[in-house]
Amino acid sequence: MTIEQLDWHGVDEGWGRRAVDFATLSEPANCREYVAVQHRLAVSAPDRLLDVACGSGLAVELARVRGAECAGIDASGRLVAVARDRNPGADIRVGDMNALPWADASFDVATSFRGIWATTPVAVSEIHRVLVPGGRVGLTVWGHLKKSPGAWALAPFKMATSATLENQAAMVSLGRPGVGEDLLARFGFEDIERVDVPFVWEFADPQMFARALASTGPAYEAIQNVGEAAFLETATRQAGQLVRDGLPLRAAIAVVGFLARKPDRGGRRRET
Ligand SMILES: C[S@@+](CC[C@H](N)C(=O)[O-])C[C@H]1O[C@@H](n2cnc3c(N)ncnc32)[C@H](O)[C@@H]1O
């Protein structure tokens, strides 16, 4: 069973147990993705933006730099504590993305960075509900991982049980051709566009890589199966083969973005 299949109250155990490591060693490596999607959505003042599964809130922080008034939600209380620390005044809540605690039509823009999966369709209907007519959405999911030059960086996750790996595969199927588009269309979105999203993890050395990776939810699933020492040792050893003299460890990974709009009842569209 993956963390995402648990009751959302259990998510903090997997995603929050190394919240400071996640916030400082893992999440910053996702920054290209946040910048690219927020740029494509033309996030700016006076947008009211919701980031769903906001983790430790770096994407929220970058949206605020662009002038948006921000809200966020994540199931992990310990990640939300970091997100609030980074974003004073933003409306960041601990909660379930499948039951968003905001009224209908509260936001102009919604984003979710690898937080929504094929296995969590209700979250898409919730995003539709809380967007204003004409509101924009941007979601990202893993793309074709096996073809990614940086696939090595995700390989340690394979130490989870085979049942967990099957569920992870079901989650990431959202990135397959047509799947994300169909899900968004099913919940009433239009102008659906699939885009390639730049995504590169960089780490100083194999030990730093292993520590960063161990702070994530899928790592927790592997650690439950093989133990933390074995996870760290394997991740460090595998990354050791990728060290380049004078350069960081670098893992470019395929990430797919879906951009779409909630229909505007009056037929008007905001030009972006
Ligand atoms: C892959 S991480 C993405 C985090 C962040 N968006 C980022 O870019 O690093 C998935 C996030 O989803 C959160 N999550 C999992 N299930 C959730 C749920 N039902 N409701 C809200 N957040 C959830 C986890 O706590 C975790 O922060």
**Do the beta carbons of residue 49 and residue 68 sit within 8 Å?**
yes
pLDDT for 267 beyond 60: no
Give the mutation target among 17, 34, 97 for probing the ligand 1 site: most ligand atoms within 8 A of CB: 97
pLDDT digits (tens, 9 = 90+) for 174-223: 899 999 999 999 999 999 999 999 999 999 999 999 999 999 999 999 99
Domains defined along the chain, listed by start: 3-261 (3.40.50.150)
pLDDT category of residue 249 using cuts at 50, 70 and 90: very high
Residue 46 Cα to ligand 1 midpoint, Å, equals 26
Give the mutation target among 2, 15, 18 for probing the ligand 1 site: most ligand atoms within 8 A of CB: 15
pLDDT digits (tens, 9 = 90+) for 30-54: 999 999 999 999 999 999 999 999 9
